[in-house]
Structure 1
Amino acid sequence: MTTENVDPLAGVRAPGDPPCDVYLTGTVFLDIIFTGLDSAPVRGTESWARGMGSSPGGVANMATALARLGLRTSLAAAFGDDHYGEYCWETLERGEGIDLSRSRTVPGWHSPVTVSLAYDGERTMISHGHEAPVSAASPEPPRARSCVASLSPGQPQEWIGAAARAGSLVLADTGWDDTGRWDLAALPDLEHCAAFLPNATEAMRYTRADSPRAAAHALTRTVPLAVVTMGADGAYAVDGGTGETAEVPAIVVEALDTTGAGDVFVAGFLTGTLAGWPLADRLALAGLTAALSVQEFGGSLSAPGWGEIAAWWQRVRQLTPESGPLGQALERYAFLRDVLPEDPRPWPRRRAVPTLGFRTPT
């Protein structure tokens, strides 16, 4: 076995299983990322970036993160019939192996675009786009082990309930509530979700709790499993059914670009969930993959695969003493021994090309 063909679900696959492991739908953006900025742009001046890349973004961040972790991923999305849309389709389908059979190209519709500026470990984004004239989401989603949904206040999505009734495990995250009401009742699809993964600010605003941990406990009155991400403080999870809790500290890294880190976290957590891992191990994998992702630029470009995870595991075992606090922290990731091959290639290069592409020599 090599890092290129690690199947985290090998131990649970059986005849008659759904054809895909995870289904999701949403908007694909073309992301243009500028890195190496010393500070935020100043009005009336020109800023030069030391690095730049382009990649599919939006829901493509999540889809790529899932596919790179070995999950059979199906994405329903609308793609523009411009060069941007063609590039995104090609990158996701051929470069990442994502099933786009439920996606469609929309004639005359241009691809949404986001420009992301990364500096000081933060990001500022400028986006432009128009709503697709047709919806890619089907009220009858495919048969899948799981689905990932992004919830927006006051915008129920018919396919989520259909997926849950068909037996899919539904995980959901959310974004900023522009209405300012922060009312869980405005997220009716939570009743179909097995887990909810907001960040600390979102969780505390929705529950009116005074800490992320208290917010996680409060959320289990609405959803069976609550996972609250706390940035540099790691993540905290509560299983409302069993009362089990788990907390994993963040891995300290030098962040280049945080774009897509939340998507990578969800992808790691879902992978461990489908594999049947303990709650703490699922949190640990999610935190590790998110930490690896922020060391590269771009949302989908930065998503790590098992090659990056194996290389990290090999490296830290070589550099970390077995005794003492660091050794105890390393033991938190000992479950990786049962997943990863013994001979990973050191720090494999990313599969996607961080540009719209070069002309083929003739």
Structure 2
Amino acid sequence: MEKWDVLVQGVITTDVIFSEIPKMPEPGEEVYCGEFEFTGGAAYITAVALSRLGLKVAILSPIGTDVLSQFIVHSLESEGVSTKLMKRLDQPLRTLSVAINYGGDRSFLSYQDEAKGFDLESYTLEILDQAETNFLHMSVRPNSLPVIQKAKEKDIQVALDVGWDEEWLKNADIYPIIKLGDYFTPNLREALYMTEQTTAAKALNTFRVQCPYTKVIIKLGPEGALSNVDGNEVVIPGFKRNAIDTTGAGDVFAAGLIAGVIKGHDLKHAIRLGNFCGACSVEGLGGATASPYWEQVEKEFLPIK
């Protein structure tokens, strides 16, 4: 089977984003906004961001027979992401999220079809038995442990993220999964909630005790990221950008981090690349819209390393 630099595992959403809204409509009222974007979300963002950074990427995700699924496949392929490993289900699989950016806050209205009879972790295990890759990026889920164990058996580096699920983030079973990963990139809110700490530094120390061999990087938004580099707790500064939409910035950060590691940079520089990519992404609506291409990295980031 073909070899990829990175396999990205996860669910894909179709994101409909409204911005520059003059006022929220009253019942029965229609209001026109100034900006709109229709794009992919969740795992789509990381996969596209990695591809734009010059890496060979395939995505492991279920896809359906509906028009939204067709849009996602076409969009991924147009970005150079392989869809060969996507599982085609004989059913509609509409996963849609409408984001409303108004008054400095975001509201979401979402819908998701059930993927009947499909288990993403079981499917990923099948693919890992066949596929060759250097890196696997995935979100930590309750059934993730066998997938990470299989990846480690094949000497595949694993980068882990996590979504906001209050019950799961407080579940003690999450730590045995994280400790097998090579990288774990929670944001500050997730890190504080998981560790029941009050500062990023204290949270990082808790992760160090629970997951001593995992490189934990706590994303701090525009302030950058906190990690333990060569035995020292270090804040790697962020990059200032004109923020239009922060959706997916963490996903693009992960892509930059992975690209930095694959291209041979040390941890601190790889995190800085993640910070740069995440900062660029906030300049457009949707996580992938303004995600940088490698040419932009060479022009704006590498000269100041």
Is the TM value for this pair above 0.5?
A: yes
Change (3 A) 1:277 1:245: farther
Do structure 1's residue 150 and structure 2's residue 139 form an aligned pair? yes
Q: Which of residues 119, 123, 129 in structure 1 aligns to 2:112?
A: 129
Equivalent residue for 2:226? 236
The CA deviation at 1:307 is 3.1
Do structure 1's residue 295 and structure 2's residue 283 form an aligned pair? yes
Structure 2: distance between partners of 1:165 and 1:120: 49
Structure 2: distance between partners of 1:200 and 1:333: 29
The CA deviation at 1:192 is 1.9
Spell out structure 1 runs of 4+ moving beyond 6 A: none
Instruction: State how 1:191-230 maps to structure 2 within 5 Å.
Output: 191-223=179-211, 224-230=214-220
Change (3 A) 1:261 1:222: same
Equivalent residue for 1:359? none
Contact 1:111–1:129 at 8 Å: present in 2 too? yes
3-state SS, counterpart of residue 247 of structure 2: coil
The CA deviation at 1:201 is 1.5
Equivalent residue for 1:21? 5
Instruction: State how 1:176-325 maps to structure 2 within 5 Å.
Output: 176-179=164-167, 182-223=170-211, 224-239=214-229, 242-312=230-300
The CA deviation at 1:162 is 0.7
Structure 2: distance between partners of 1:62 and 1:34: 21
Change (3 A) 1:117 1:212: same
The CA deviation at 1:117 is 1.8
Change (3 A) 1:177 1:29: closer
Give the length in aligned residue pairs. Answer: 295
Higher strand share: 2
Equivalent residue for 1:107? 90
Q: Which has the larger radius of gyration?
A: 1
Q: What letter matches 2:228 in structure 1?
A: V
The CA deviation at 1:68 is 0.9
TM-score, structure 1 normalization: 0.75
3-state SS, counterpart of residue 109 of structure 2: strand
Do structure 1's residue 30 and structure 2's residue 18 form an aligned pair? no
Deviations for 1:53-108, whole angstroms, at most 9, x for unmatched residues? 21122211111111111111111111121111111101102x11112211132222
**Aligned Cα RMSD in Å?**
2.3
| Paired-residue identity, % | 25
Instruction: State how 1:45-84 maps to structure 2 within 5 Å.
Output: 46-84=30-68
The CA deviation at 1:310 is 4.2
Structure 1: distance between partners of 2:89 and 2:145: 21
Structure 2: distance between partners of 1:187 and 1:198: 13
Contact 1:256–1:297 at 8 Å: present in 2 too? yes
Structure 1 unaligned residues grouped into runs of 5+? 1-17, 314-331, 336-362
Structure 1: distance between partners of 2:227 and 2:12: 29
Deviations for 1:278-307, whole angstroms, at most 9, x for unmatched residues? 222112111111111100111222322123
Deviations for 1:133-179, whole angstroms, at most 9, x for unmatched residues? 22353213222111111013x44353222112210111101121332
Contact 2:140–2:162 at 8 Å: present in 1 too? yes
The CA deviation at 1:274 is 1.9
